[in-house]
């Protein structure tokens, strides 16, 4: 295995204003709120079923929900207290899910069952990761134990630790690299040991020089801290370089064929916060119960990174950050490029959330779309080499055959096409519709 002196060039993408206002602010730990709301769907795959009922007392770290489905991840109590309700809520994506509501007793009493897992084999490792409740913390929410449990005949030679964090405003991964460096390298050692990874690349966009410096010093050639050679690879800052397929191409030169997965090109990509959590969990046995969230935007009084219990309402997180400076016209979960707008601030923080952005009227205003002028900027910017204008046209026409022919399912919904469009066409929304049509979930748009 060899390391690159320079990354490969990414195809397409765009330059965006990063606005990393909170990058140099140490994370603030939020006290437990009066209640948390824990949806049963906080991951890709099957939802969990509650293991508790109204009136039950629960402790921090106690498993409160699980599923027998292979693609799922258990959910744990993030505060101690009493289950006050099990009810339906609407998630940011619009789907309905059951949720367990826990009223705090103010004690944050720990479950007596918390202890570091005993791991001797790869199967033990994957089981422990599953029990931790870990999902992709960069935003994807895919259960990590499924990613690590490679199919028979598959192996990976390269682990890419993703610290691109190419979304504007978001700095929670940046702070993970600076504040939990030891845990990151502990997680790397564990993945190396049980998956037999030969090469580790920590991919960092070059707008994080302090993270590049600290990770590079900590790697120290890699032999002591990470169990083998580790390279910190500085990438030019360009959106959407943190997307999994794009990152693999930039870091290794390998291209994932249509319909295939990273393991098919012998790569594994993990978000740096996921790796850091894994390192801590293997030492403490504390499952995934809290999350570092970047709180920013023109409507927030005191932008900062906040470490909050999972299930905390957005309103409570914003209040901890000083409250609103103006009435928010739009609230996003995630970054402005790929995040989801939410109807109000009563929605809870989920495992895979990495940012809460609140904007005033000026920043939230959306320009009205006009006719496409065939400039080609969307095509030039698409990192997956798609033709967004045609995908929009055939999605609105409900033409499943042409959507398939144009590989609509390869779209990573990064929003580069819509950002580059001078006519302000809602290209991403149309492509999402096209994906639903191909999957049989929607018909022609009216």
- The DSSP string of 61-106 is T-EEEE-SSSS---EE-SS-EEEEEEEEEE-TTS-EEEEEEEEE-S
What pLDDT does 140 receive? Answer: 83
The DSSP symbol for 113 reads: T
What pLDDT does 153 receive? Answer: 82
What pLDDT does 38 receive? Answer: 98
What pLDDT does 207 receive? Answer: 96
What pLDDT does 259 receive? Answer: 84
> What is the Cα–Cα distance from 326 to 321, expressed in whole angstroms?
13
**Predicted TM-score (pTM) of this structure:** 0.94
306 burial type by CB count under 10 A (0-12 exposed, 13-18 middle, 19+ buried) = buried
> What is the Cα–Cα distance from 404 to 383, expressed in whole angstroms?
18
What pLDDT does 219 receive? Answer: 87
What pLDDT does 6 receive? Answer: 82
Write out the chain's pLDDT in tens, 446 residues.
567 778 999 999 999 999 999 999 999 999 999 999 999 999 999 999 999 999 999 999 999 999 999 999 999 999 999 999 999 999 988 889 999 999 999 999 999 999 999 999 999 999 999 999 999 998 889 999 999 998 888 889 999 999 999 999 999 999 999 999 999 999 999 999 999 999 999 999 999 999 999 999 988 754 444 456 789 999 999 999 999 999 999 999 999 988 899 999 999 999 999 999 999 999 999 999 999 999 999 999 999 999 999 999 999 999 999 999 999 999 999 999 999 999 999 999 999 999 999 999 999 998 999 999 999 999 999 999 999 999 999 999 999 999 999 999 999 999 999 999 999 999 999 999 999 999 986 555 44
Cβ atoms of residues 336 and 370 within 8 Å: no
What pLDDT does 446 receive? Answer: 44
Other C-beta atoms within 10 Å of 417: how many? 29
Phi first, then psi, for residue 247 (nearest 5°) are -65, -40
Strand partners, 135: 143
Strand partners, 271: 162
Cβ atoms of residues 135 and 143 within 8 Å: yes
> What is the Cα–Cα distance from 134 to 188, expressed in whole angstroms?
15
**Interior/surface letters 240-267, b for 16+ CB within 10 angstroms, e for the rest:** bbbbbbbbbbbbbeeebeeeebbeebbb
> What is the Cα–Cα distance from 177 to 227, expressed in whole angstroms?
18
Pair of tokens at residue 142: 């895919």
Pair of tokens at residue 389: 């204008």
Nearest partner of 338 among 429, 223, 446, judged by Cα: 429
> Domain 122-284 is classified in which CATH homologous superfamily?
NADH-ubiquinone oxidoreductase 51kDa subunit (3.40.50.11540)
Cβ atoms of residues 114 and 61 within 8 Å: yes
Strand partners, 163: 204
* Residue range(s) in the chain whose domain bears CATH number 3.40.50.11540: 122-284
249: cis peptide before it, omega within 30°?
no
Phi first, then psi, for residue 173 (nearest 5°) are -70, -40
């Amino acid at each position: 295995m060899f390391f690159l002196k320079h990354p490969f060039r990414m195809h397409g993408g765009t330059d965006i204003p990063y606005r990393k206002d909170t990058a140099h602010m140490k994370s603030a730990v939020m006290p437990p709120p009066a209640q948390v709301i824990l949806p049963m769907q906080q991951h890709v795959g099957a939802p969990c079923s509650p293991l508790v009922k109204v009136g039950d007392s629960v402790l921090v770290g106690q498993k409160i929900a699980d599923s027998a489905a292979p693609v799922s991840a258990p959910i744990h109590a993030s505060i101690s207290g009493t289950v006050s309700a099990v009810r339906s809520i609407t998630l940011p994506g619009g789907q309905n899910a059951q949720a367990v509501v826990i009223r705090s007793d103010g004690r944050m009493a720990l479950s007596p069952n918390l202890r570091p897992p005993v791991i001797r084999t790869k199967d033990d490792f994957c089981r422990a990761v599953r029990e931790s409740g870990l999902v992709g913390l960069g935003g994807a929410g895919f259960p990590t134990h499924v990613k690590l449990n490679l199919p028979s005949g598959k192996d990976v030679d390269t682990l890419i630790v993703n610290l691109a964090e190419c979304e504007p405003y978001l700095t929670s991964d940046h702070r993970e690299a600076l504040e939990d460096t030891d845990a990151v390298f502990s997680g790397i050692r564990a993945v190396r040991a049980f998956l037999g990874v030969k090469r580790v690349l920590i991919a960092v966009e070059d707008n994080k020089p302090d993270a590049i410096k600290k990770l590079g010093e900590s790697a120290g050639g890699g032999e002591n801290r990470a169990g083998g050679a580790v390279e910190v690879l500085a990438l030019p800052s360009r959106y959407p370089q943190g997307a999994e397929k794009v990152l693999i191409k930039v870091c290794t030169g390998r291209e994932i064929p249509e319909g295939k997965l990273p393991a098919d090109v012998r790569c594994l990509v993990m978000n740096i916060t996921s790796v850091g959590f894994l390192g801590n969990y293997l030492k403490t046995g504390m499952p995934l119960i809290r999350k570092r969230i970047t709180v920013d935007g023109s409507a927030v009084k005191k932008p900062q990174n906040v470490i909050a219990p999972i299930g905390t309402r957005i309103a409570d997180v914003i209040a901890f950050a000083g409250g609103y400076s103006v009435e928010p016209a739009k609230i996003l979960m995630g970054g402005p490029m790929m995040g989801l707008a939410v109807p109000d601030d009563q929605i809870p923080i989920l495992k895979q959330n990495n940012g809460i952005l609140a904007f005033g009227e000026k920043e939230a205003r959306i320009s009205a779309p006009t006719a496409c002028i065939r400039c080609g900027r969307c095509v030039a910017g698409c990192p997956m080499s798609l033709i967004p204008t045609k995908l929009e046209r055939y999605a609105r026409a409900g033409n499943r055959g042409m959507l398939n022919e144009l590989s609509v399912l390869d779209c990573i919904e990064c929003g580069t096409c819509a950002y580059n469009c001078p006519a302000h066409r809602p290209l991403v929304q149309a492509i999402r519709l096209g994906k639903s049509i191909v999957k049989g979930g929607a018909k022609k748009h009216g």
